[in-house]
Chain A
């Protein structure tokens, strides 16, 4: 068991940490309430609050880094949120290296994407609403990572779910956007149930929901319960992070505006699952089998994501499945336990940079191409959009693990660690991750070639409103964030892993990064294997896509695996067949049962009384003589009865 850090009371600028999330929350509230009046300045307010948060985050970061490692965990108690007879849920913040890392990622990338959105959304009448919702997201995400107990985490957890729901459905008049938003929220809710039940289990067994107390006393809980808790937490992580079997919502979430895809569905929110598992590492450290489940889910997902990514023609969906796959790597990493927590976070940060950059690049391309997302209609864009091309290219190289760029350091470290898992696990995890790396190289190269190289397939095509495409470079407010993120994608990996800088920094939260030892393959071999597979992927992509013209229409006569991949490996079909359709039937059936059955009994009772009294009233003929006869009959009967009683 790892040693837990002592918790200090916040001092100095750290005690202002509540401003971190209050600023964007206030921004969001003002923008929502002010309404149309804020249309002219609203976006700048949105940018300002997030940038201010980032500055504050930096200040806190530098104050913290100035302290010794065992003093880096501080808590800020704001007020008692829910307090009933023995239950006390703080509205409190926990500032430690892990949460600060996330704060910087969220506000940093968030600031860039806010700035980018000013340009990207400049023609959209709903820009103010967009910034209000984006600010709401930043606030919720900050609460998620800053909370010092599981209920605060849950608050942020569903808060980002709401923001994501609003932003996916941002183009409200598109039915597909509305459906995608609802799907995202519902699948997240499935995960949320897991998270909620994990909280209930912790409460039942420990009588607390505060991180500090839970981590201190988790050892007292029976092993079976610990496994249950870890699996339930994983279910939550699967929902939020788009992991198998709840991965189907993430690609659909691309219905939202592209900056949203970059910020929420690539860089920050979807990595919350990784954060959750890393945060609760004292629980996961206790159970081998719990971690194994995590690693397995990660492995399955990274392969699924990579396979499906190869088949799509929609640039955002390819990137989305790439995200699914990359988060799979992170989940695999944190599933490996103490040898992997820091690696997962490192890859998360690097991924935050290059994937956000890639999405912004994709947004830039779409901006130029009249919001068309079909890569078959792109081609030869590198001349038209040089900045986008270069920044996107750097992100691409970082993602496929080109030597000495971010992905090379962070992803390879995960694969290396995966090979060291004991027994069959090492082979399964390591080899799957390596093969998926090759697939990643393939689909990303395919994307690059189809978008930036080859023929200009858009020249003969008409836009949706009948005009011609005029690709052009995007304005400064969009390209500058892309350039900064490109720098990040190039340098992040080296900076984070050099001398284990990140791992040392995170040690108070995650425990010391343990050296991965032994394993299926010698350490000298793995990097070469991964490199070779990636190179193979690039080569195959070049041979398949680069050397012959790409048809504008999608070929329908394709092999079985491609067909399966195009249909998301039937994930949606299974959801539809197993849950959605039976659910609809059940609902309809129950409505029928309720109206005819349950209410039928009620109305039936009423009808019974009504009917029988209707029969009975027929006796009231209105003939006085018949009444008299019945009176006489009654009297005779009574007299007879009396006589019988008397004389018997």
Chain B
């Protein structure tokens, strides 16, 4: 088994996620891109765990999932409240904290 493909896939997913975070304005999409990045990292972790024959990577991947779940809860709540007050989900409109 060659890990290279897995790692390449993971890098590809991460890049898509990163670019998505940077270029998209819709908060939900940005959010999903972040999830994409997290999962690409999970993929890498599992791959290396498999290569090295240790369980550490898989354990960390579980932690990442838990954190991601918590993040989704809080993040979606914030997005919801912003959407309620401003009738938009664009991240560029929430700029009250600048300067």
Chain B residues near A (Cβ < 8 Å)? 18, 21-23, 25, 30, 91-92, 94-99
Contacts and interface: CB of A to CB of B under 8 A. Distances in A.
Interface stretch (A34-42, A184-192, A365-373, A625-633): A625-633
Interface string A88-127: 0000000000000000000000000000000000000000
Given A622-B99, A625-B23, 14 more contacts: A620-B98, A620-B99, A621-B98, A622-B96, A622-B97, A622-B98, A623-B92, A623-B95, A625-B25, A625-B30, A625-B92, A628-B21, A628-B22, A632-B18
Given A632-B18, A632-B22, A625 B99 contact: no
A632 to B, nearest CB: 6
A174 interface: no
A617 B99 CA distance: 5
A624 interface: yes
Interface residues of A, number: 11
A618 B23 contact: no
B95 A622 contact: yes
A640 to B, nearest CB: 15
Contacts of B96: 622
B13 to A, nearest CB: 15
B26 to A, nearest CB: 11
B79 to A, nearest CB: 11
Contacts of A618: 99
A134 B94 CA distance: 83
23 contacts: A617-B99, A618-B99, A620-B98, A620-B99, A621-B95, A622-B95, A622-B96, A622-B97, A622-B98, A623-B98, A624-B30, A624-B92, A624-B94, A625-B21, A625-B22, A625-B23, A625-B25, A625-B91, A625-B92, A628-B21, A628-B22, A629-B22, A632-B22
B37 to A, nearest CB: 10
Contacts of A624: 30, 91-92, 94
Nearest to B33: A628
A617 B30 CA distance: 25
Nearest to A628: B21
Contacts of A620: 97-99
Interface in A590-648: 617-618, 620-625, 628-629, 632
A195 B30 CA distance: 87
A618 B95 CA distance: 13
Contacts of A632: 18, 22
Most buried by B among A618, A621, A622, A632: A622
A623 B96 CA distance: 10
A632 B22 CA distance: 9
Nearest to B21: A628
Nearest to A632: B18
